[in-house]
Amino acid sequence: MAKTSGKRFMRLAGMTASIAGKAAKNSLRHLSSDEEKRIQARSELMQDVGIQIAETLGEMKGAVMKVGQIASQYKDVFPPEVAAALEKLQKDAPPMPFGQIKAQIERELDAPLETLFIDFDKTPFAAASIGQVHKATLPSGQKVVVKVQYPDVDDNCESDLKQVRMALKIAGVLNMNRKLQEQLFDEIRQSLHDELDYTKEAHNLRVFGAFHADDAGLIIPKVISSHSCRRILTLTEEMGETLTTAATWDNDIKQKIAERLFHFSAGQLFGLYRMHCDPHPGNFAFRPDGSVIAYDFGSIRSYSDAEVQLFRRFARHAIKGDVTALEQDLVTLGVRREDDTNIPGAFYTTWLSIGLKPLSIEPYHNGAFDFAHSQIHHEAIAQMRSSLKYFNQFQPSAVTMMLDRTVSGQYWNLVNLGVSIDLSPLVARYI
């Protein structure tokens, strides 16, 4: 174990040293360059750094790869070049040999595999950074799925996170003050620890299952407590089709799916004050009647009543177009820096006209919005270029980070679903 940890440390330390060299060389080379050349050089450096981090983490199973995946989900914290490279880590990881998986199950549940299950599929149907998922059958005949955490993942968690943070800091990727860095990495650390503890995920599944119990067409797998512990999670088998398949169905079915995805996130935020914050398409499955099955309740964020009321107030001010109140909300949320820089109202109005369009709210848009042909993301990128002079007045916020990730993730789910829908009645219901 110590030998493995030492090897991991050397690999990560080597990556950090290499990035430090590249960053220093880049600074020296462009000491006397004009601003345009410096910006171009920094973009190329970030691309290079992103690829190096992604390749190093991608080869190292376990916590360090999970750190990279979590980092990729906090896109507003990292330059786009680094976020794009880290995002590749979200793809399925190669599976672990079945012998090691069998040994892990028997060690954790303290019984032979043959006693625990009458049938256990040796080939996983999903593999990720910290574990993999197998189909199985209980002695009762109940069909289940078994999530097995890779051995020793949690032992490396803290040192992995420190190394990745150091590499990002040396590369000049973390363009924020130390206090904000601490807040953001505490958030990432907590998220990582929560995902490594399957007893917490089991608790989340029960809480969210009870919350959505009366929501027809929203299905959450049930925990099989007798076959679950900190590193093993056994759930009832709830199968459905992928988002790609659902995108081929009729629009009326897609509308039911879209409504359920909207309610899944907004209902939790405003009704439970807790939220499933990993809306990756692989964490949902769909049935031809419009039902939605939700998986993976490891990444959950809880909010205080004050935070939820502030989110609601912010949304109301956005819908009304009250940019003065909106800016004050952004200051309270920690997104807008408190300084004397005057940002014209037109800056906010333009962003509102882009961001609120998919919600079919007048005057930004009226009637069904066609997500299949949405240009919102392209409009946002174009607007970013003309808004650069104000961007130093904004920063990532630990309060909104997980919410931002959820909203943007669900937007992309609706784009990939290709639904045409008027979401304004749902907005009115929650806001």
Average the pLDDT over 219-237 and give the result: 97
Check pLDDT > 90 for residue 105. yes
Alpha-carbon gap, residue 86 to 51, rounded angstroms: 8
Q: What's the pLDDT score for residue 180?
A: 74
pLDDT at residue 261, rounded to an integer? 98
pLDDT in tens, 18-51: 888 887 787 777 666 667 777 777 778 888 877 7
Query: Treating both helix axes as pointing N-terminal to C-terminal, what angle do 178-196 and 401-417 enclose, rounded to 10 degrees?
Result: 60
What kind and span of H or E run contains 235? strand 232-236
Determine the Cα–Cα distance for residues 59 and 43; give it in Å rounded to an integer: 25
Residue 328 CB neighbour total at 10 angstroms = 15
> Mean of the pLDDT values across residues 229-235?
97
3-state secondary structure of 428: helix
pLDDT of residue 25: 82
DSSP state of 336: B
Q: Averaged over 56-73, what is the pLDDT?
A: 65
261/54: higher pLDDT: 261
Average pLDDT, the chain: 86
Q: Is the pLDDT of residue 317 over 90?
A: yes
Range list of β-strands (E), 315-409 = 369-370
**Statement: residue 1 has pLDDT above 50:** no
Task: Express as a percent the part of the chain with pLDDT over 70.
Answer: 88
C-alpha 377/C-alpha 69 separation (Å) is 22
pLDDT band at residue 171 under the 50/70/90 scheme:
low
Q: Strand 218-219 and strand 292-294: pairing?
A: parallel
Does pLDDT of 237 surpass 70? yes
* Interatomic CA distance for residues 91 and 87, integer angstroms: 8
For range 284-292, the mean pLDDT: 97
pLDDT exceeds 90 at position 186? no
- Cα–Cα separations (whole angstroms), residue 302 to 41, 86, 308: 40, 26, 10
Mean pLDDT along residues 419-429: 95
Check pLDDT > 60 for residue 91.
Answer: no
- Reported as a single tens digit per residue, the pLDDT across 124-148 is 988 776 789 999 999 999 999 999 9
Q: What is the pLDDT of residue 3?
A: 47
Which of the four pLDDT bands, split at 50, 70 and 90, describes residue 247? very high
pLDDT at 67: 64
Q: What is the pLDDT of residues 191-216, one digit of tens each?
A: 778 888 999 999 999 999 999 999 99
Q: Are 346 and 392 spatial neighbours (Cβ–Cβ below 8 Å)?
A: no
User: Quick one: average pLDDT of 332-353?
Assistant: 90
The confidence score (pLDDT) of residue 423 equals 96
For residue 353, what pLDDT is reported?
93
Tokens linked to 377? 């993301």
Q: Where are the alpha helices (DSSP H) in 2-97?
A: 2-29, 35-59, 63-73, 80-87
Within 10 angstroms of residue 235's Cβ, the number of other Cβ atoms is: 22
Q: Which residue, among 63, 55, 125, 131, has the nearest Cα to 96 in the 3D structure?
A: 131
Q: Encode 167-217 in three state secondary structure.
A: HHHHCCCCCCCHHHHHHHHHHHHHHHHHHHCHHHHHHHHHHHHHHCCCCCC
Are residues 164 and 57 in contact, defined by beta-carbon separation less than 8 angstroms? yes
Tokens linked to 92:
């399925």
The 3-class secondary structure across 296-333, one letter per residue, is: CCCCEEECCHHHHHHHHHHHHHHHHCCHHHHHHHHHHC
Query: Is 83 a residue whose pLDDT tops 60?
Result: yes
Where is average pLDDT lowest: 56-60, 317-321, 370-374, 387-391? 56-60
The pair phi, psi for residue 141, each rounded to 5°, is 95, -5
The number of angstroms, rounded, from the C-alpha of 364 to the middle of its chain's C-alpha atoms is: 28
- 396: Cβ–Cβ under 8 A, 6 or more apart, which residues? 74, 76, 77, 176, 180, 184, 335
SS3 labels along 132-173:
EEEEEECCCCCEEEEEEECCCCHHHHHHHHHHHHHHHHHCCC
pTM check: above 0.85 = no
Q: In this predicted model, which residue has the larger pLDDT, 381 or 286? A: 286
Give the pLDDT mean for 56-82.
Answer: 66
